[in-house]
Amino acid sequence: MKLTVVGKSPAWQDEGGACSSYLVSEGDTSILLDCGNGAFGALRKLTDPAGLDAIFISHLHADHFFDLVPFAFSLTNSLRGREVYGLAYSTEGVEQPIELYGPPASGGALESVCGVWRMPTMLFDTFEFSEYDPGGEVTVGPLKITFRAVPHYIETWAISVAGPDGKRLVFGADCSPNEALADFAAGADLLIAEATLAEPEPDPDDRGHMTPREAGEVARAAGVSRLVLTHIPDQIDPGWAVAEAGAAFEGPVAVAEGAMELDL
Ligand SMILES: [Zn+2]
Ligand SMILES: [Zn+2]
């Protein structure tokens, strides 16, 4: 199983960067975790987006799903035979629509967003849309995907992807320090954890993100093999972030960057 970081920016893009999006592939199967703003262009540099099998969205903050819109435009104007913009995506090997798995109760919200420009069903017309059951498991080719609610400002789900050889990565989505993610990621080969903050939010009762050290503490509690810090602004020194996380977690730590590849 291979992870490729498509975008790692927080709610605003790094200079030339993209927001939350991660490509996970195993053999001929590839899935996307999140599709934040800026991700579609970055994804095009890495692979033919039309060749994806499925997309999973962790939560409905803009930086995690907004580029579903340009993604859908590209597909409707190429795969569906309307070459309006003369896009040149290869449709070779694409026999069925890409599956889009939104969080529970996300269909209405996606409809409202696209309804602003009077195309409320554009995502449903383009992708094979469904809402995932957080208590269930989704199978895409050889990959098994499961979910766990984590504390954030809105309902948010961490996502686990297990490969056929038992290797497993966990994407923590956006979350404040919590035990649910550590439990969900227990023993995983890789934890991709957000480290948005240089300092914890001042109000302990109104937290939604973590510092690098807090991400390291989750990794230590989970006993994962390695940690990648993500959702981290380019204003934060990556060397400092790694040292902070390393103060809590003994395993390898890296800061995500666009096009970074990790083999599990
Ligand atoms: Zn975010
Ligand atoms: Zn968020």
Distance 59 CA to ligand 1 centre (A): 9
Distance 152 CA to ligand 2 centre (A): 7
Beta strands in the chain (DSSP E): 2-7, 21-26, 29-33, 54-56, 99-102, 128-131, 138-140, 143-150, 156-162, 168-171, 190-194, 227-230, 253-255, 261-263
Q: Encode 50-87: b = buried (16+ Cβ within 10 Å), e = exposed.
A: bebbbbbbbbbbebbbbbbbbbbbbbbbbbeeeeeeee
CATH number of the domain encompassing residue 236: 3.60.15.10
Question: CB of 72 within 8 A of CB of 89?
Answer: no
Question: What ligand is nearest to the CA atom of residue 231?
Answer: 1
Distance 230 CA to ligand 1 centre (A): 10
Distance 255 CA to ligand 1 centre (A): 16
Distance 85 CA to ligand 2 centre (A): 32
Query: Whose CA is closest to 161, among 50, 46, 258, 34?
Result: 34
**Residue 72: half-sphere exposure toward Cβ, Cα within 13 Å:** 21
The answer for residues whose C-beta is within 8 angstroms of residue 227's C-beta and 6 or more apart is 190, 191, 193, 215, 216, 219, 245, 249, 251, 252, 253, 254
Distance 88 CA to ligand 2 centre (A): 33
Distance 86 CA to ligand 1 centre (A): 33
Question: What ligand is nearest to the CA atom of residue 9?
Answer: 1
Output the pLDDT for position 83.
Answer: 44
Question: What ligand is nearest to the CA atom of residue 103?
Answer: 2
Q: The domain containing residue 96 runs over which residues?
A: 2-263
Output the pLDDT for position 96.
Answer: 66
DSSP state of 37: T
Output the pLDDT for position 85.
Answer: 43
**Number of structural domains in the chain:** 1
DSSP string covering 81-144: S--TT------TT--SPPEEEEPTT-HHHHHHHHHTTT-TTHHHHHSEEEE--TTS-EEETTEE
Distance 66 CA to ligand 1 centre (A): 11
- 155: buried, middle or exposed (CB in 10 Å: 19+, 13-18, 0-12)? middle
Distance 231 CA to ligand 2 centre (A): 9
Distance 245 CA to ligand 1 centre (A): 19
Question: What ligand is nearest to the CA atom of residue 194?
Answer: 1
Digits of tens for pLDDT over the chain (264 positions)? 999 999 999 999 999 999 999 999 999 999 999 999 999 999 999 998 988 999 999 999 999 999 999 999 888 765 444 444 444 444 444 456 899 999 999 999 999 999 999 999 989 988 999 999 999 999 999 999 999 999 999 999 999 999 999 999 999 999 999 999 999 999 999 999 999 999 999 999 999 999 999 999 999 999 999 999 999 999 999 999 999 999 999 999 999 999 999 999
Distance 173 CA to ligand 1 centre (A): 7
DSSP state of 14: P
Question: CB of 141 within 8 A of CB of 25?
Answer: no
Distance 59 CA to ligand 2 centre (A): 7
